[in-house]
Structure 1
């Protein structure tokens, strides 16, 4: 469970993942070793998955961000989700409740690449019954899980 200090450390790391432990410690009024130990513990426990750069795909040459809803044969949802999660184009994937079994966000460079992804990659995964694809025309917020 996260306490208030952990949440404050995460806040500063989410604002700038390059921020040093000593700077965070100074802001929070705690020893640098406290920040270092707590971050190490959050990494070990999977609270912090990894440190990575958040890129804007549109500025990096990717023109298509799509949300794809996937309907799957009964009893194959986990198996299909695991196969989909292995695909490089998939940014976010989750098993869902409601009208569709799986939702995923996919980023590709062009409509042609999206077509190839849908036909050549999804089309070869056994258990997928149907898909529904929505292309985002703009993105108003790029984010990540907030804990505060």
Structure 2
């Protein structure tokens, strides 16, 4: 897996103009580069080049965000995981699973937290029992099954 640049390596990419481009894309990920250029004072070509650099450096992704229940995934859950030993190989194994869309190493009562999207309760049980709990180092899990999604946003701006 290629390493991602650290924060200090991103500083050159995140000047005020790049931050303004990011804010424009957070408002509408399909906004035309020409329109973004007018808003931030750059040419369409310059915006295109900056956006590509931001994507290439892992600072932004441009994707369609769906409601999982509307595209065939009836069950979502957050799973708190307690583990022993090095957490990096465990987080790598979790990140490789198609059903896992979020992995974070945490401080607190859980060592890792993952979000999973599954087709059914049976699918969730299989992912949890046969795959997550079988990862070496995983000692216990606690599941938080989603009943209703009330808010999900990705437009927190930039600093």
Please say whether Structure 1 and Structure 2 have the same fold, judged by a TM-score greater than 0.5: yes
- Partner of 2:139, secondary structure, is strand
- Counterparts of 1:124-139 in structure 2, within 5 Å, are 124-139=134-149
1:68 to 72, 79, 84: 79
Mean Cα deviation higher: 79-88 or 31-40: 31-40
Per-residue Cα deviation, 1:45-98 (whole angstroms, up to 9, x for no partner): 2212x321111101112111100000001x231111111111111010011001
- Partner of 1:38, secondary structure, is helix
Q: Which residue pairs with 2:19 in the alignment?
A: 7
Q: Which residue pairs with 1:95 in the alignment?
A: 105
Q: Is the 8 A contact 2:27 2:155 kept in 1?
A: no
Q: CA RMSD in A?
A: 1.6
Gaps of at least 5 residues in structure 2 are 1-10
Moved beyond 3 Å, runs of 4+: none
Gaps of at least 5 residues in structure 1 are none
1:33 and 2:45 are equivalent in the alignment: yes
Change (3 A) 1:134 1:140: same
